[in-house]
Structure 1
Amino acid sequence: MSNTSRRSLLAVLAASAATIPLGGGTAAASPARGTASAAQGAARAAVTPAGASVAPLPPPAAGMSTARSAVTLAPLNADHFSGLTLTSPLTATVLPGTPDRTEITSGGRRVALLTHGARTVLLPGPARTFTENKKPFVDDFQRTLPDPSLPADERKYWGTSPGGGSWSTLGPVDTDYSVEPGTGIINLTTDYASRHASVRDGEITDVDVRSVARFDKVPTGDACSYGLSFGYQNTHNNYRARLSFTTSGSVQFRVEKEVDDKVTQLDTAVTLADDVPAGTDWTIRVRREGTRIRAKAWRSADTEPSGWAFDVTDTTFGKGRVGLRALANSGCSNLPVKLSVSRFQVDAGNWAEPPAVTHSDWVRVLPEPFDGTWTPELEGIVRGWAGSTSPDVLAYAAMFLGGAAPVVAGSGPAEGKQVMGEAGYGYLNPEGYRYEGADFHEYMHTGWTFPDGDHTGPSSKQVGNLDCSGYTRMVYGYHMGVPLAAGEDTSGTVLPRRSRDMAEYAPGVRIDRTDGTAPPAAAQLQPGDLVLFNADSGDDQETATVDHVGIYLGRDGDGLRRFLSSRKTVNGPTMSDLGGNSLLDGTGTYARTLHTVHRI
């Protein structure tokens, strides 16, 4: 990356009141491998350094208020720039406690904190807020659930949603729900009993969601219907935009709410078509923003209507799940009727309270571990870092959250490969569960030769994915220059491939470890530390020890310690609580199973 390119990018990052969205609009940066790379997805800044090639994510739907995952930098006013002047010489003081740490001050003000034996350095800088929001997703049901060798009466459920969480299927018969590759199926085997399928994410408020489905029969006796649910609290309380398929072949559309089993129409129903044959795909789309609800529906083979069939306001339900509802009216006489859902898609969504961490800690990485001796060379490095807004460990870690803009390397061993941008966890097995095994170079779809000469080829199935240890290696290894091992390594000088080996042999200093009876107190925990868990998450079935790793981010607005990690349930890097709290406090899985804290 050229100096000119770096200066152009940093000018964007240092702009007053800079919010760095992680997706949408035009993105640009061109990282090179090593500690000097300074890439940041400044998504709405029209800056394209020489050699960069960017394929930006599509922007949120027009008018949608979704705030995508972002790093927000406070305004850089005169106080910031005046603070860049440091006294000469700087003062080094060894602090009490374990591990040994040296505090560097200028005029009594801390300018760096170094840990003996570690490369990471904590420095004060402009305050930043790290925020994550709902990741858009598409579920096209490309899975077989469950194993087709199982008896037919055991084939029930819809499995895991690519958007995080899993599908909940309720009422009245479990075997009415199944998945065939490309289709989620709801069999209406009894009349006047609703079937509900919803994604287990109850924190969604604003949302732009759609579904595509078809019935295999024109009903006789009475109508059948399928609806797109939102603001879903439970089977008795929810909103829905619903299509009714009548015995004459007409299709009627309505928007309604159900409160304690009482259904109220939010507007007058409309007839969209007549003489519709069985097997016709219909799309329903809902956009909810605050109390405003808009909905439309159309034959999927036709062009989406430009206008909305309904535009209403209602305040009954706030946050809730999204999903589907199917029903055969009482009197429907040609049961069973099958609803086949080929697509469920969330284009944008807000969580009611997106997780956010705000602090002024920046995490840099030294070329070598600090041996406890303060030297002129180290002073020069720290002076160069003072007040810098070039990306640090935490900035790079955030650049793989949902909505992050793709960034392609302009030079170096990964030239032409994507090295930042929204990451998944792993590809799906036939049953729809995610495989681990996505290392940093798998994400980039390139082979990699490690310092010991071992070479690992790319995997076409893991492009764009990072498992928990692969994510850690992408941040600390590829972007920050910490040496990496191809697999296991006990030298303590390179970062091993698996989390269980990181717990024992990662370079740096162990900060704390469980005594086997309780999680470690981690009193010296600081941003950038590796947090390693014995969560029994399935990432490592061979041993009953560490099986998950993340990067500690800091305290959220509730004062709780939050970390970043790549997880199966969320399908990629996250700091959120979907499928388990990303917290080291409380009674959640990760709070209970914290095993080791390590400083690189």
Structure 2
Amino acid sequence: MTDTSRRSLLGALGALTVSAAVPPAAATASPARATPSTPAASPSPATAATSGPRSSMTFTGTPYDTAAFARSSLGELTATVLPGTPVRTEIRHGGQRVAVLTKGARTVLLPGPERTFTENKQSFTDVFDRLVPDPALPPAKRLKPGWGTSPSGGTWSVYGGTSGDTDFGVHTKGAATMLLKDTEAGRYATLTDDGISDADVNCVAAFDKVPTGNACSFALLFGYRGGGAHYRARLSFTTKGEVDLRVEKVMNGETTLLAEAGPLATEVRAGDAWRIRVRRKGAKTQVTAWPAAGAEPTRPTAEIEDSEAGLRSGRVGVRGFASPGCTNLPVTLITGRFEVTAANWETPPSVTHRDWVRLLDAPFDGEWTPAVEAIVRGWAGSMAPDVFSYAMMFLPGAPGVRGADPRVAGADVLGEAGYGKPDSQGLRPVGADFHDYLERPWTFPDQTRRPEDGQRGNLDCSGYVRMVYGFHLGVGMMAVKDPAKKALPRKSGAMVDFAPGVRVAQRTGSGGSAPDLGQLQPGDLVLFDVNDVAGDPEDPDAYDVDHVGIYLGLDRAGKRRFLSSRKSADGPTMADVSGASTLDGPGIYADSLHTVHRV
């Protein structure tokens, strides 16, 4: 990488340390990535609470204060081999640790200015551009009935009625259906993200019939903890073709009316779509409802002030219900759009520490030589980007930055990344390597790979690791795998046995005890057997391991948290959409941790 390119990148990384907003003029900023369109609205109480960057890397105190480094450049440094495996050498100046080097690895752990890494809920729009299940696929490959997975929002969980999931589906792209064929119970579709508090959420839906005998209703759910505990903004469609709004709280199965308005319209026909928007900040909530074909009213339809202790955070979603006495069942609720314009988690994940991770030009051979000492001393006072500086530059809200390297001139080398393009059912298969993100062909020592169509700006889990450690920090890479173990393989499973560096810990045997995390340190690769499918011995590209991330450190709850690119979050994340990004159980990743590896 050229000095000019590195200065540009450092400028953009400096912007991230402030707010993950727009890079300064020193960086070559690319146009902002497309964001979901939002309806026009008057200022709301939720706006200030939910605006701003979705992820950040901030410094404690003065960002460019080098005092934390300076002591390490003074006086004599001592080297001590630490007990345990892998073999590590600790470098100290007086009573202060200056660096930790690992025999056989290039990564070096150093103290530096304290940083806090955090991520909040990212915005997304689900227009149900998928088929669930897809009848064109073989039965074994079809998803079970439901609404599938939203882009960046996690998986839709559906239930209710007498026939369960078969009453839900996306049989036509752009139309998620909820079949109401009885009046015994409502049906619910919620996103499996329990921590949402302040939010600006809206949905668009319609009924395929005007009800007879009694009304049908649909509601936008928030603070959802279950069918018997949630808030809802409910539109009731009457037999007269009118629409009424009720804002309700359900607690312990008892419904309390908080506000009502209506009729909002008359002569409503079958298929007329309506939009509900909920803007919540603390105890205050504004609800606006209007025909989706028209403009949003300048004033909210209803306002409430209520904050039930058990409902301060929860899921968001949609409910459909046919009132007792409705005589023209079945009635189908059709949801065409669900949008989280902005939201906050009640407790966003946050990691604070003074650990910086840098790379030697070659693996440390265990000898503390004058040459190695010169390199470590040269890092004193350096604010050059490290592993985490680069890794955070692909999380939600990170600015796009173009590279000056002739191999990628004009391509974004930093900036918010997705996971990969979805298939017909909305699933995101493996496939987005770093050169797919760049949309550039890449010549590896073993072969040349061309970028896959439609993957620009995307990184799957191993592609994310290769982008950080390989493209930006110079670790060698292969198109497949390197038997000499000097280059990062393409697939996470191959990294277990073929990644350069040293193994720190590994699960013992099939179903054996979890890896010992006593020697785990920030920057280590953490590899998982999430799907619990054994590798095929006749297929050299089939492995037990199917996911990889970068260990970040202890969060404020004292749990070991990692960064990885995930399908459910649609890109790099340190957060917990559809499963906690922590190594401490119980949880899908804590239970499936297979190997810890140090590059």
**TM-score with structure 1 length normalisation?**
0.89
Q: More deviation in 509-518 or 522-531? A: 509-518
Q: Give the whole-Å Cα distance in 2 for the aligned partners of 1:398 and 1:13.
A: 9
Q: Give the whole-Å Cα distance in 2 for the aligned partners of 1:226 and 1:74.
A: 47
Residue among 518, 524, 527 paired with 1:532: 527
Q: Give the whole-Å Cα distance in 1 for the aligned partners of 2:285 and 2:532.
A: 39
**3-state SS in 2 of match to 1:380:** helix
Deviation at 1:66, TM superposition (A): 5.3
Judging changes above 3 Å, is the alpha-carbon distance between structure 1 residues 177 and 8 closer, same or farther for their aligned structure 2 residues?
A: closer
In structure 2, the partner of 1:210 is 202
1:165 aligns with 2:154: yes
In structure 2, what residue type is equivalent to 1:53?
S
**3-state SS in 2 of match to 1:520:** coil
| Pairing 1:90-489 to 2, within 5 Å after superposition | 90-148=77-135, 156-172=145-161, 173-174=163-164, 175-180=166-171, 181-191=173-183, 193-316=185-308, 317-452=311-446, 454-489=447-482
Q: Is the 8 A contact 1:539 1:547 kept in 2?
A: no
Q: More deviation in 52-61 or 503-512? A: 52-61
In structure 1, what residue type is equivalent to 2:560?
R
Q: Give the whole-Å Cα distance in 2 for the aligned partners of 1:535 and 1:189.
A: 38
Q: Is the 8 A contact 1:118 1:509 kept in 2?
A: yes
Percent identity between the two aligned chains: 52
Q: Give the whole-Å Cα distance in 2 for the aligned partners of 1:301 and 1:265.
A: 28
Deviation at 1:353, TM superposition (A): 1.5
Judging changes above 3 Å, is the alpha-carbon distance between structure 1 residues 328 and 483 closer, same or farther for their aligned structure 2 residues?
A: same
Superposed CA RMSD in Å reads: 2.8
Deviation at 1:429, TM superposition (A): 2.1
Deviation at 1:529, TM superposition (A): 0.7
Deviation at 1:380, TM superposition (A): 3.2
Residue among 7, 19, 23 paired with 1:21: 19
How many residue pairs were aligned? 574
Q: Is the 8 A contact 2:50 2:199 kept in 1?
A: no
Deviations 1:434-476 (A, max 9, x none): 2111111112222111234x21111123222221111111110
Q: Give the whole-Å Cα distance in 2 for the aligned partners of 1:9 and 1:352.
A: 32
In structure 1, the partner of 2:556 is 557
Residue among 32, 49, 74 paired with 1:64: 49
In structure 2, what residue type is equivalent to 1:350?
N
1:55 aligns with 2:21: no
1:503 aligns with 2:496: yes
**TM-score with structure 2 length normalisation?**
0.89
Q: Is the 8 A contact 1:253 1:270 kept in 2?
A: yes
Deviations 1:42-83 (A, max 9, x none): xxxxx1226443426769973233562211210138985275
Q: More deviation in 2-11 or 347-356? A: 2-11
Deviation at 1:340, TM superposition (A): 1.0
In structure 2, what residue type is equivalent to 1:486?
A
Q: Is the 8 A contact 1:243 1:253 kept in 2?
A: yes
Where does the alignment leave 5 or more consecutive residues of structure 1 unmatched?
29-46
Q: Is the 8 A contact 2:147 2:169 kept in 1?
A: yes
In structure 2, the partner of 1:33 is none
Q: Is the 8 A contact 2:89 2:102 kept in 1?
A: yes
In structure 1, the partner of 2:42 is none
Judging changes above 3 Å, is the alpha-carbon distance between structure 1 residues 382 and 586 closer, same or farther for their aligned structure 2 residues?
A: same
Judging changes above 3 Å, is the alpha-carbon distance between structure 1 residues 540 and 405 closer, same or farther for their aligned structure 2 residues?
A: farther
Deviation at 1:407, TM superposition (A): 2.5
In structure 2, what residue type is equivalent to 1:76?
T
Q: Give the whole-Å Cα distance in 2 for the aligned partners of 1:206 and 1:82.
A: 37
In structure 1, what residue type is equivalent to 2:327?
S
Q: Give the whole-Å Cα distance in 2 for the aligned partners of 1:372 and 1:102.
A: 7
Deviation at 1:19, TM superposition (A): 4.8
**3-state SS in 2 of match to 1:341:** strand
Judging changes above 3 Å, is the alpha-carbon distance between structure 1 residues 20 and 156 closer, same or farther for their aligned structure 2 residues?
A: same
**3-state SS in 1 of match to 2:92:** strand
Q: Is the 8 A contact 1:489 1:501 kept in 2?
A: no
In structure 2, the partner of 1:520 is 515
In structure 2, the partner of 1:81 is 67
Q: Is the 8 A contact 1:139 1:161 kept in 2?
A: yes
In structure 1, what residue type is equivalent to 2:519?
Q
Q: Give the whole-Å Cα distance in 2 for the aligned partners of 1:565 and 1:3.
A: 28
Q: Give the whole-Å Cα distance in 2 for the aligned partners of 1:63 and 1:530.
A: 37
